[in-house]
Chain A
């Protein structure tokens, strides 16, 4: 089954304790990205990757890092989480091409709470 998986699904942590949210897709997609969802703001892109070893900032990259060492994986790293990073996070992937013609697949989400 074609899917994007994220782990963990739920995480409660404390300020400053480094964490990683994993994302993996089994569709051989080149493009992967991370979004955060906040009430009243919709989803905003954090980082994206066009292919292995190619990553770039989205609209709200501060406080986050990513890496793309393998095509299937795109982990999101919070080196020193703060309470304003409490949010619902989604990973997405798609194959390349003109944006409108390519369906994006979303993971189930990771709900992060930083105390």
Chain B
């Protein structure tokens, strides 16, 4: 079945450092890809999405590009802030079903 693999965390960075969180997927067909963020004590929020190959999703300084050839959707940010500390989930949806298939999540810790 469909699956998503994320790099294990925690990822520990200093403020203003460059962030990359790797995400690769396995799916039949052409899934839509998502990054969700979970701040401490809160539910999940959609951070960005891409629905077809070569699409770039972006939001709040975060970016991810849908790479069909490498089946990847890596999350990047040029300069992280302490407020970006959270758990980040990569996910996909296939076809008309609404079921999100999630990766295991990557915790990001940003220190001042």
Q: Which residues of A contact B (CB under 8 A)?
A: 4, 31, 33, 35, 40-45, 48, 58, 90, 92, 94, 96-104, 106-109
Min CB gap B101→A, angstroms: 8
Q: Within 8 Å of chain A (Cβ to Cβ): is B35?
A: no
Beyond contacts A108-B42, A109-B42: 20 other A-B pairs, Cβ-Cβ < 8 A, are A4-B43, A40-B104, A42-B102, A48-B99, A58-B99, A90-B43, A92-B100, A96-B98, A98-B32, A98-B95, A99-B32, A99-B94, A99-B97, A99-B98, A99-B99, A101-B32, A102-B98, A104-B46, A104-B100, A106-B45
A31 and B93: CB pair below 8 A? no
Majority SS at the chain B contact face: loop
Q: Within 8 Å of chain A (Cβ to Cβ): is B20?
A: no
B89 and A43: CB pair below 8 A? yes
Interface residues on B, range: 20 to 34
Q: Within 8 Å of chain A (Cβ to Cβ): is B96?
A: yes
Question: With A98-B96, A100-B32, A100-B49 known to touch, is A109 a contact of B102 (CB < 8 Å)?
Answer: no
Chain B residues with CB below 8 A from A98, complex form: 32, 95-96
Min CB gap B48→A, angstroms: 11
B104 and A99: CB pair below 8 A? no
B51 and A100: CB pair below 8 A? yes
A103→B44 CA distance, assembly (Å): 12
A45 and B45: CB pair below 8 A? no
B98's contact among A31, A41, A90, A109, by CB below 8 Å, is which? A31
3 shortest interchain CB distances as A-B pairs: A100-B32, A99-B93, A100-B51
B104 and A97: CB pair below 8 A? no
Chain B, Cβ-Cβ closest to A108: B43
A104 and B98: CB pair below 8 A? yes
